């Protein structure tokens, strides 16, 4: 089943989305399937041909109204970076972030490297490698990878990771 955010659904032109209101007594089993269709949101999509998807049967809408917007996430990353830099007086090696997968919309906490080599004894703990702070911030925008950064927990340095083994 396809997952789509509420804001993505609302951005679909009104001619291609709506609510099922038409009774279909011409279908032999309409009485049995009626409640799966009536009042449900619908959308037209192109998937090896044009088809109509019905909410609960072909797609699920996930409410994203409380999710942070990309600019808020970038600001949060910048804030955590400044806090780390002012306290530690050095560049951080990694960021602990919350990511959201673009296909399932599920979230998970991961570690993203900033200036760490990819061949070290903590490599298994690194989810993704970035070249700079701006590269990290760009992951808050959709389309670059199959995930987006949905939040930033904080930054750390490689030596702290070595102490936790």
**pLDDT tens figures, 12-38:** 999 999 999 999 999 999 999 999 999
Same domain, 48 and 101: no
Same domain, 55 and 80: no
Angstrom distance (rounded) from CA 21 to CA 41: 10
Same domain, 76 and 121: yes
Same domain, 97 and 156: yes
Q: Which of these, 109, 106, 114, 153, lies nearest to 131 by C-alpha position?
A: 114
Structural domain including 96 reads 70-163
Annotate 71-87 with b (16+ C-beta within 10 A) or e (fewer): eebbebbeebbeebeee
- Mean pLDDT for all residues in the chain: 91
Same domain, 20 and 76: no
Give the DSSP H or E segment for 126.
Answer: none
Same domain, 142 and 115: yes
Annotate 26-48 with b (16+ C-beta within 10 A) or e (fewer): eeeeeeeeeeebeebbbbebeee
Average pLDDT over residues 44-64: 93
Same domain, 81 and 154: yes
Angstrom distance (rounded) from CA 136 to CA 138: 5
Same domain, 57 and 88: no
pLDDT at 119: 59
pLDDT at 3: 92
Average pLDDT over residues 85-95: 93
Same domain, 51 and 78: no
Number of domains in the chain: 2
Same domain, 24 and 50: yes
Same domain, 58 and 84: no
Last residue of a domain, one of 22, 38, 62: 62
Q: To 10 degrees, the CA torsion angle through 93, 95, 101, 106?
A: 140
- Which residue is it, tokens 């780390």? 84
Average pLDDT over residues 58-68: 94
Same domain, 78 and 155: yes
pTM for the full model? Answer: 0.78
Last residue of a domain, one of 24, 42, 62: 62
For a pLDDT cut of 90, what percent of the chain falls above it?
A: 81
Enter the tokens of residue 2. Answer: 């396809």
Angstrom distance (rounded) from CA 42 to CA 91: 49
Strand, coil or helix: 41: strand
């Amino acid at each position: 089943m396809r997952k789509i955010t509420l804001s993505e659904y609302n951005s679909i032109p009104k001619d291609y989305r709506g609510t099922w209101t038409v009774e279909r007594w011409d279908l032999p089993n309409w009485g049995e399937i009626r409640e799966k269709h009536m009042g449900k949101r619908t959308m037209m999509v192109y998937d090896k041909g044009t088809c109509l998807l019905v909410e609960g049967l072909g797609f699920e809408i996930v409410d994203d109204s409380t999710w942070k917007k990309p600019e808020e996430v970038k600001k949060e990353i910048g804030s955590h970076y400044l806090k780390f830099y002012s306290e530690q007086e050095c560049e951080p090696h990694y960021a602990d972030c919350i990511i959201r997968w673009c296909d399932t919309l599920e979230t998970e906490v991961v570690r993203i490297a900033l200036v760490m080599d990819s061949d070290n004894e903590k490599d298994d703990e690194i989810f993704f490698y970035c070249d700079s702070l701006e590269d990290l911030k760009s992951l808050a925008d959709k389309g670059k990878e199959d995930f987006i950064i949905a939040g930033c927990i904080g930054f750390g340095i490689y030596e702290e990771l070595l102490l936790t083994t």
